[in-house]
Amino acid sequence: MDSSGQPLIVLKGVTRIFGKGQAAVEALRGVDLRIDAGEFVAVMGPSGSGKSTCMNILGCLDTPTAGSYLFKGVEVGELSRNSRALLRRHYQGFVFQGFNLLNRTSALENVELPLIYRGATAAERKRRALQALETVGLKGWETHTPGELSGGQQQRVAIARAIVTGPEVLLADEPTGNLDTARSREIMELLTLLNRESGITIIMVTHEPDMAAYAKRTVRFLDGRVASDERNGRGN
Amino acid sequence: MLGNSILLAFREIRRNVLRSFLTILGIVIGVAAVIIMVTIGGGATVQVSQQISSLGSNLLMVTPGKRLGPGQSSDTVPFKMSDAEAIARDVRSIAAVAPVSSRSLQAVSGNENWSTNVTGTDNSYFKVTNRSVRSGRTFSESELRSGAAVCILGDTVRRKLFGNQDPMGEKIRLEKLSCKVIGVLESKGQSTMGQDQDDIVVIPLRTLQRRVTGSQNIGLIQVSVREGASTEGVQQEIGQLMRERRHLAPDEDDNFNVMDMKEITKMLTGTTQMLTALLSAVAAVSLLVGGIGIMNIMLVSVTERTHEIGIRLAIGALEREVLMQFLVEAVVLSSFGGLLGIVLALAGSVWLAGLLHVPFVFNAGIVIVAFLFSAAVGVIFGYFPALKAARLDPIVALRHE
């Protein structure tokens, strides 16, 4: 949350339609959502409920067909593809279900990748990447490639890559979808820690109520609309 | 930003060493081929010029017919001995005149036989062609006048027929003519046309005319111009004299040819250069094919790496950064291919030059051009795949496995 008191994310009547005419599919039908800095939001809902489309829009990978998406007060729908890429680069981190690491590339180089695009010096890159890897508990694994790491470790590398630039928001799309329960809990504890210690806003899509319970707030999607939005009793 | 692209490109190439190597193979071969062709061609041209200048720049060749070499019409009026005598008598500033007539014959000695060039001429021949007798002697006046059965061997013929034995005083047989060896020529090596100049048997002209060809004709008159005199002047005088002797009307073309070494040099180096250009063009096509190879592999690589490009775009890579990365990758690959090709070409040229007995002439120009061309190939053929990569939709690309 910045000092102006402005919310981090505001969606107003966001609609997203794929295709045209008869074949048109309405993935989002007027979504209103407000997320403040420092929140930890779990997004739930059945397949086809529009939560992934909403995540793509939140991550500036896609733009609304109608409605408004304000990120830090900026109307994202009006930005060019390049400006949206810069927004992602400077304020957002991504964690995916499938880890999406570059294979045959060491953990360190994977984590360095966003810093290369930000134009950091080699020394700076290395320092921050090592630090991020330490934060996610992978000290000593820097030279291992994804193929040599377990699923849980790969997801930690992905999280390190997402937070290495110090983003304001971390967008996680089913980060525990490919992991067993024990590994999933470790990842959720890591995210909780990041949210609490670094104050990073986390928006996470998940199918599992157990994982959603780690968040402070749960938003449920149904048929392209927000069906429910409630604070979690457990919280942190 | 360029620094970043280079860093990313190098990391990418390192990730896929084998694929990268296969990608540049076409460029390597193309560049090597072009450079080798040009280098060997240049060496051959230099060799031609050197050999001709070693003959002496004051040499004139008088041949019947309109042109030197093949394509002479059959109604060519041949020269006679009297033509050579007339030149020696009437044209000023001449050092020596040698009438020359040759035949390809089988030379036999004992069990050995060797097909060689039998040249009938007189002692002026040695002066005009800058040759000397290594052992033995040249022809005597009486031998020349009477058409005696004597011969002087080139080194190759001596080796083929006599090996390590001393040929002096031995008899060799040239068709029906049996003649005595009176000398061996100093070795001269290969000629401009790649002929072995030591593959020769010299006999008196009259001997050849009477006992081999049975005709009074002379194939060629070689004239050496006196030191310091104008070659062109002598050329003109000979032309004038020949027109008179052949009774040509003023409107008729010359039916003979007086060439000086400059013209012959120009003609021969022209041929070599044309051949070089032709071969280089063929090699350049292979370079182009190499470029298309790069484009192919880059296109495949874009498809193969769609997911990776999606990751980069999602992380915040700009379109132009992805474009740059792929472009730099293509240029780095093709330049590296160019460098490899240059190294290969230089090694290959040195080796080939030794094999073909052609001097190795380093041509910095073609090396630079080939390198720049290979880099340009990277830009041109890398651009389309790079653009394709940059334009990918990150959402679609991420879903692509």
Taking an 8 Å cut-off on Cβ atoms, the answer to whether B4 and A82 are in contact is: no
B328 at the A interface (CB within 8 A)?
no
Please give the Cα distance from A150 to B128 (Å, whole number): 88
A227 at the B interface (CB within 8 A)?
no
Of B11, B316, B395, the CB nearest to A85: B316
Q: Which chain A residues are within 8 Å of B15, Cβ to Cβ?
A: 102, 104-105
Taking an 8 Å cut-off on Cβ atoms, the answer to whether B313 and A161 are in contact is: no
pLDDT along chain B (401 residues), means of 10: 77 82 86 88 81 71 69 67 88 88 89 90 88 90 90 91 89 90 86 75 92 87 84 87 86 82 77 83 82 81 84 90 86 89 93 87 87 86 86 88 70
Rounded CA Rg of chain B: 32
Distance from CA of B356 to the nearest CA of A (A): 48
Asked if residue B299 lies in contact with residue B393, where contact means CB atoms within 8 angstroms, the answer is no
Chain A segment 44-73 residues within 8 A of B by beta carbon are 56, 59, 61-62
B196 at the A interface (CB within 8 A)?
no
A79 at the B interface (CB within 8 A)?
no
Among A102-111, A116-125, B39-48, the least confident range: B39-48
Please give the Cα distance from B145 to B147 (Å, whole number): 6
Q: Which chain A residues are within 8 Å of B308, Cβ to Cβ?
A: 102
Inter-CA distances, A72 with A3, A16, B311, Å = 11, 21, 24
Give Cβ neighbours of residue B190 (< 8 Å, ≥ 6 apart): B51, B196, B197, B357
User: Has residue A70 been placed in a domain?
Assistant: no
Give residue B163's pLDDT: 87
Of A85, A100, A105, the CB nearest to B317: A85
Q: Which chain A residues are within 8 Å of B7, Cβ to Cβ?
A: 116
Taking an 8 Å cut-off on Cβ atoms, the answer to whether A100 and B313 are in contact is: no
Q: In a 10 Å sphere around its CB, with 0-12 CB exposed, 13-18 middle and 19+ buried, how is residue A65 labelled?
A: middle
Of the candidates A207, A209, A212, the one whose C-alpha atom is nearest the C-alpha of residue A235 is A212
Asked if residue A109 lies in contact with residue A131, where contact means CB atoms within 8 angstroms, the answer is no
CB-side neighbour CA atoms (13 Å) of A92: 27
Asked if residue B393 lies in contact with residue B61, where contact means CB atoms within 8 angstroms, the answer is no
How do A40-44 and A201-205 pair as beta strands? parallel
User: Has residue A54 been placed in a domain?
Assistant: yes
Beta bridge partners of A222: A225
Residue A235 pLDDT level (bands cut at 50, 70, 90): very low
Taking an 8 Å cut-off on Cβ atoms, the answer to whether A86 and B319 are in contact is: no
Taking an 8 Å cut-off on Cβ atoms, the answer to whether B395 and A56 are in contact is: yes
B285 at the A interface (CB within 8 A)?
no
Q: Which domain holds residue A185?
A: 37-61+80-231
How long a stretch of residues is chain B? 401
User: Has residue A85 been placed in a domain?
Assistant: yes
Distance from CA of B345 to the nearest CA of A (A): 34
Distance from CA of A93 to the nearest CA of B (A): 7
Of the candidates B107, B240, B92, the one whose C-alpha atom is nearest the C-alpha of residue B179 is B107
User: Has residue A180 been placed in a domain?
Assistant: yes
SS3 B104: strand
Residue type, B322: V
Q: Which chain A residues are within 8 Å of B307, Cβ to Cβ?
A: 100
Q: Which chain A residues are within 8 Å of B4, Cβ to Cβ?
A: 116-117, 119
Give residue B73's pLDDT: 53
B400 at the A interface (CB within 8 A)?
no
DSSP-assigned states of every residue in B152-196: EE-HHHHHHHHTTS--TT-EEEETTEEEEEEEEEPP--B-TTS-B
SS3 B19: helix
Asked if residue B32 lies in contact with residue B345, where contact means CB atoms within 8 angstroms, the answer is yes
User: Has residue A190 been placed in a domain?
Assistant: yes
> Above 70 in pLDDT, residue A234?
no
Q: In a 10 Å sphere around its CB, with 0-12 CB exposed, 13-18 middle and 19+ buried, how is residue B275 labelled?
A: middle
> Above 60 in pLDDT, residue A2?
no
Tokens at B305, concatenated: 């790496």
Q: Which chain A residues are within 8 Å of B311, Cβ to Cβ?
A: 100-102
Beta bridge partners of A71: A9, A74
A232 at the B interface (CB within 8 A)?
no
Q: Give which of A54, A113, A164, A174 to mutate to test B binding, by max B Cβ within 10 Å.
A: A113
**For residues B319, B321, B327 and B329, what is the CA-based torsion angle, rounded to 10 degrees?**
-130
Q: Which residue of B has its CA nearest to A87?
A: B316
What are residue A173's phi and psi, to 5 degrees?
Answer: -100, 100
Taking an 8 Å cut-off on Cβ atoms, the answer to whether B318 and A82 are in contact is: yes
Q: Give which of B7, B308, B311 to mutate to test A binding, by max A Cβ within 10 Å.
A: B311
DSSP-assigned states of every residue in A114-172: HHHHTT--HHHHHHHHHHHHHHTT-TT-TT--GGGS-HHHHHHHHHHHHHTT--SEEEE
Taking an 8 Å cut-off on Cβ atoms, the answer to whether B15 and A56 are in contact is: no
Please give the Cα distance from B387 to B324 (Å, whole number): 9
What is the model's pTM?
0.65
> Above 90 in pLDDT, residue A165?
yes
Q: In a 10 Å sphere around its CB, with 0-12 CB exposed, 13-18 middle and 19+ buried, how is residue B21 labelled?
A: middle
Give residue A236's pLDDT: 44
Give Cβ neighbours of residue B45 (< 8 Å, ≥ 6 apart): B269, B272, B273, B276
User: Has residue A22 been placed in a domain?
Assistant: no
B1 at the A interface (CB within 8 A)?
yes
Q: Which chain B residues are within 8 Å of A101, Cβ to Cβ?
A: 311
Mean pLDDT computed over A20-47 = 92
> Above 70 in pLDDT, residue A122?
yes
Tokens at A208, concatenated: 């599992």
Of the candidates B325, B5, B322, B386, the one whose C-alpha atom is nearest the C-alpha of residue A82 is B322
Residue of higher predicted confidence among B269 and A94: A94
DSSP-assigned states of every residue in A29-60: EEEEEEE-TT-EEEEE--TTSSHHHHHHHHTT
User: Has residue A221 been placed in a domain?
Assistant: yes
B76 sits in which H/E element: none
Of A82, A105, A118, the CB nearest to B319: A82
Asked if residue A13 lies in contact with residue A30, where contact means CB atoms within 8 angstroms, the answer is yes
What 8-state DSSP symbol labels residue B280? H
Give residue A171's pLDDT: 95
User: Has residue A150 been placed in a domain?
Assistant: yes
Number of domains in chain A: 1
Taking an 8 Å cut-off on Cβ atoms, the answer to whether B316 and A117 are in contact is: yes
Give residue A162's pLDDT: 95
What CATH code is carried by the domain that includes residue A167? Answer: 3.40.50.300
Residue type, B300: V
Residue A3 pLDDT level (bands cut at 50, 70, 90): very low
DSSP-assigned states of every residue in B185-240: EPP--B-TTS-BTTSEEEEEHHHHIIIII-S-EESEEEEEEPTTS-HHHHHHHHHH
Please give the Cα distance from A112 to A121 (Å, whole number): 11
Please give the Cα distance from B26 to B334 (Å, whole number): 9
